[in-house]
Amino acid sequence: MGLLRWVLFQSGLLVRMAQQSKRDVILMFHGVPKQSAEELHDLLQWLSKHFAIVPMEAIFDRVSRKRGEKSSVFALTFDDGLRNHRTVVYPVLADLRLPATFYVCPGLIERAVTTWSWEFWCRIPLLSETCRRELLARAGVRNLTDGVAILEWMKTIPLNERRQVEDDIRLKTPGFAFTTEQRELYELMSWEDLLGVDPGLINIGSHTMTHCDLPVLNSEELANELEGSRAVLEQRLGRPVSDFCYPDGKHNDAVVRAVANVYRSAVTTVCGSVIAGDPPHALKRIGASLDLQRLSWLLATHTGPFHRC
């Protein structure tokens, strides 16, 4: 497969498949460490040579139309409001003059080091074997070595219960401190960071107030995460906030309806490209790889004649 992919990439066939598909792509990024800045620059420069990079508003306009388009366009999205989006990603976007959307959680800005999910991603590996087994048993997981399963289970339980589990894990990892590498990857932007980006280039979207998994919330909690986050962002940034991103991609029909009452568009983590007629509040994305060959393969297989989704 590696050789086939390399040959197809080198021949330019992969990119041509994506170009000719006339399907649009919303690329999803998370943290970009500073040592990857050059790779990101090269990747975005390459992308912008082959495709038009457009703001999320243009994707919304295109999916809302009934007719197909003549060519494929790309939108760039960055989740979680990470500081490296300001320090590593933004300088690259500004240099190349490429628009993007940063999805941020206003309830966490200057209040938490990172989202609860990144915090526990870092903490859970430090739990003792006994604590981990206890939590996995509570989660009903049979494979008692699978630490990631604890985090996945935490995303499925009601908010109050999850906060109790968080307290429990914090108590059981008393010596925990984020390492320098973890801070570089997961630390959140400040309000000053957000106010310092060019609004003509960077669209700010909501990623909920506190990065909650929406399907487990009651209606009051849901309203706070959706309407509350939009209101705080608009008030602090002094600009409209119209686009939304589901934390961890988690959504159901009721959540989608609630989001549609507050936002113009919403992106998921369901892998795939988008086309005219797609529901604007359940937009698929493709997880970006900084490896050009791998990304080209992903694009071709998710947009080209053999695309599966």
C-beta separation of 78 from 85 below 8 A? yes
# residues near Zn ion by CB under 5 A: 3
CB of 277 to Zn ion, least distance (A): 27
CB of 94 to Zn ion, least distance (A): 23
**What torsion, rounded to 10 degrees, do the Cα atoms 281, 284, 290, 294 define?**
-170
Tokens representing 279?
Answer: 């529901």
Q: Which is nearer to Zn ion, 23 or 162 (CB)?
A: 162
Tokens representing 76?
Answer: 């760039």
CB of 292 to Zn ion, least distance (A): 25
Q: Which is nearer to Zn ion, 268 or 303 (CB)?
A: 268
Please report, for residues 108, 113, 240, the alpha-carbon distance to residue 179 in angstroms, rounded to integers and kept in the order given. Answer: 20, 12, 36
Q: Which is nearer to Zn ion, 73 or 82 (CB)?
A: 82
Q: Which is nearer to Zn ion, 14 or 245 (CB)?
A: 245
Return d(Cα 104, Cα 78) in angstroms, integer: 9
∠ CA 254-82-149, nearest 5°, is 60
CB of 269 to Zn ion, least distance (A): 9
Q: Which of residues 64-83 bind Zn ion (CB under 5 A)?
A: 79-80
Return d(Cα 8, Cα 11) in angstroms, integer: 5
Binding mask 79-108 for Zn ion (x = CB under 5 A): xx----------------------------
Give the dihedral sign, CA 90/92/95/97. negative
CB of 207 to Zn ion, least distance (A): 6
Tokens representing 56?
Answer: 């999320």
225 contributes a contact to Zn ion by CB under 5 A: no
Backbone angles phi, psi at 237, to 5 degrees: -100, -15
CB of 190 to Zn ion, least distance (A): 18
CB of 85 to Zn ion, least distance (A): 12
Binding mask 26-65 for Zn ion (x = CB under 5 A): ----------------------------------------
Q: Which of residues 227-286 bind Zn ion (CB under 5 A)?
A: 247
Q: Which of residues 126-145 bind Zn ion (CB under 5 A)?
A: none
C-beta separation of 206 from 212 below 8 A? no
Amino acid at 268: T
Q: Which stretches of the chain bind Zn ion, using CB under 5 A?
A: 79-80, 247
